[in-house]
Amino acid sequence: MRDFMPSETFNLRDFASHVSPSQDIPNYATLLEKTAPEFRVFCAGFRERVRILKEEGKKVLVVLGTGGTFQSDETDEGRAPTGSLKESFDALGLPEDPSVHLELFDLMKLDSSQMTVEQWRFLAEMIIEFEEEVSDMYDAIIITHGTDTMAKGASYLSLMLKGFPKSIIFTGSQEPARKSGTDAKDQMERSITAAKLASGTNRKIAEVMVCCGLRVARGTWAEKLGDTTVNAFGPWNQPNQDFDATDWERATRDGTLHRLAPALLDFGTGKSRGSLEFATHAIDFEHKGAFEPFTMIEEEANLFPATLTDKSTQAIAEHIIHQRVAVLTQLGSATADDRLVEVALAAAQHGKIILFEAPFHDSTVQPGTYKAGAKVRERLPNIQRRLPILNTSPTTFETKTNYLLHRLGIRPAGNTKGLGMYYSNNDLRKFYDQMEQNLVRELV
């Protein structure tokens, strides 16, 4: 077999710049033009549709569909989200709940792999419009979403809708709603239960959550646990044992609460009441602070983490030069080859954005724990600014980075062949300070 030899005229970078999304993937502009008017019609008639139901004391839950496996059907080319929310709900045959009224609207029909900041931005903006129009007429929002990028979508909305006064619950399924024996029925029943509890007058949880599995996690804590398990999501910093109310109280007293990162609500242990009692310690139920929406995120951060092992100093330098933001994954407790650390910190000292990431949920980034990697501790004082040390999921790490780059308007101060994009000391200080802030109760 003859070896393949690339054409001298072929330029992969040029090729990539001209690849367009499939026509069935609406971008932000298309969604604004075609879907937003339909949603506004839905909003316009909402108050009259639910007025009597609200007067009767029912919980009004709004379900916004984005597609994913939940709305998928089998096609000749594989599963695709072709069905409507109504068709999916009709197939589920949910038991009658006289205390709840559901309002359904299809915003998108996309596979989760096709969801990007463009679609999440549109989703956030439609939720903002809905809240402005009919805030007093609904209790919570449920979003059906594909599971592969659900944690990322929930993390983005947590940041973009900071201070939102209602519960927003992401859910999905591993099997389509219209398939016999699907897990979608259990997932939706649990999501409805979580929405009812979270929107209670005495126990309001006004934040973005993920309910796809037995545990309800905060939007900035949730991570997918597997492709086949129906217990698909949980807190990234998963506790090793089931907790009840006494455990929550102990964890609050001894300061281990954030390290353990327990679920908000647990449907699997029979201790749901205890899990909700935890929220009295971990969450301030009474909504405080102004609603601070920020949706002007126009592009991905394009983060490509590099692990600080088995690389030459030249290779890590080339990687850092070509990255807008260099994410470097440490080994254990900030252990790394000192040569690589020297390169990374020299780049930081000269204006590159450098972020060190812990490799595991139970890692504690403590420079100097081991002799290997002690250069981190030695060199940090020379940089004249504090690099943030975060203990958060890789998903939230990425979304928070992108969110802050846009919100703070961070732009390169220059671009050179030997360093790539670099930034001013003032911008770097603002960015690092905000990265280390706990914006929406993410783990730090």
Helices 85-92 and 184-198, packing angle to 10 deg: 100
Residue 239 φ/ψ, nearest 5 degrees: -70, 155
Residue 200: the pLDDT is 75
Residue 76: the pLDDT is 85
Residues 233 and 346 grouped into a single domain: no
- Burial code (b: 16+ CB inside 10 Å, e: under 16) for 315-325 equals ebbebbbebbb
Residues 255 and 334 grouped into a single domain: no
Residue ending a domain, choose from 244, 264, 293: 293
Residue 176 φ/ψ, nearest 5 degrees: -60, 150
Cβ count near 286 (within 10 Å): 7
Residues 181 and 131 grouped into a single domain: yes
**36: containing domain:** 28-293
Question: CA of 286: how far to CAs of 103, 117, 248, in Å?
Answer: 26, 30, 20
Single out the residue of 43, 194, 46 nearest to residue 127, CA to CA: 43
Residue 14 lies in a domain: no
Q: For the chain, which ranges sit under pLDDT 70?
A: 1-7, 201-203, 238-249, 251-252, 255-263, 268-288, 333-334, 364-368, 373, 375-377, 379-390, 444
Residue 227 lies in a domain: yes
- Burial code (b: 16+ CB inside 10 Å, e: under 16) for 425-440 equals eebbebbbebbeeebb
CA angle 71, 74, 78 (to 5 degrees): 105
Q: Which two tokens stand for residue 258?
A: 């954030």
Residue 13 lies in a domain: no
Give the single-character DSSP code of 173: -
Query: What is the per-residue DSSP string for 329-356?
Result: E-BTTTB--HHHHHHHHHHHHTT-EEEE
Q: Which two tokens stand for residue 168?
A: 């927003």
Alpha-carbon distance of 156 to 140, in angstroms, equals 18
Residue 134 lies in a domain: yes
Residues 364 and 390 grouped into a single domain: yes
DSSP reduced 3-state for 328: strand
The amino acid present at 286, given as its one-letter code, is: E
Cβ count near 103 (within 10 Å): 17
For residue range 347-364, what is the model confidence (pLDDT) as tens digits? 988 999 998 877 777 776
Residues 155 and 265 grouped into a single domain: yes
Query: What is the per-residue DSSP string for 347-381?
Result: HHHTT-EEEEE-SSTT----TTSSSTTHHHHHHGG
Residue ending a domain, choose from 293, 324, 344: 293
For residue range 274-326, what is the model confidence (pLDDT) as tens digits? 454 445 434 554 556 789 999 999 999 889 999 888 889 999 999 999 999 99
Residue 273: the pLDDT is 47
Mean pLDDT of the chain: 85
Residue 35 lies in a domain: yes
Residues 46 and 171 grouped into a single domain: yes
Taking CB atoms within 8 Å and a gap of at least 24, the contacts of 125-132 are 125/295, 126/36, 126/39, 126/64, 127/64, 127/157, 127/161, 127/164, 127/168, 128/161, 128/293, 128/295, 129/39, 129/40, 129/43, 130/39, 130/43, 130/46, 130/62, 131/164, 131/165, 131/166
Residues 273 and 328 grouped into a single domain: no
Alpha-carbon distance of 217 to 219, in angstroms, equals 6
Asked if 391 contacts 261 with a C-beta cutoff of 8 angstroms, the reply is no
Residue 420: the pLDDT is 95
* Count of the separate structural domains present in the chain: 2
Residue 16: the pLDDT is 86
Residues 288 and 321 grouped into a single domain: no
List 223's β-bridge partners, or say none: 234
Residues 261 and 375 grouped into a single domain: no
**Residue 178 half-sphere exposure toward CB, CA atoms < 13 A:** 18
Query: What is the per-residue DSSP string for 197-244?
Result: HHT-SSS---SEEEESSSEEEETTTEEE--SS-SS-EEESS--SS---
Residues 354 and 289 grouped into a single domain: no
Residue 212 lies in a domain: yes
DSSP reduced 3-state for 66: strand
Residue 7 lies in a domain: no
Residue 115: the pLDDT is 94
Residues 189 and 337 grouped into a single domain: no
What CATH number has the domain bearing residue 33?
3.40.50.1170
Distance of CA 219 to the CA centre of its chain: 6
Residue ending a domain, choose from 293, 321, 354: 293
Residue 5 lies in a domain: no
Residues 228 and 268 grouped into a single domain: yes
The amino acid present at 285, given as its one-letter code, is: F
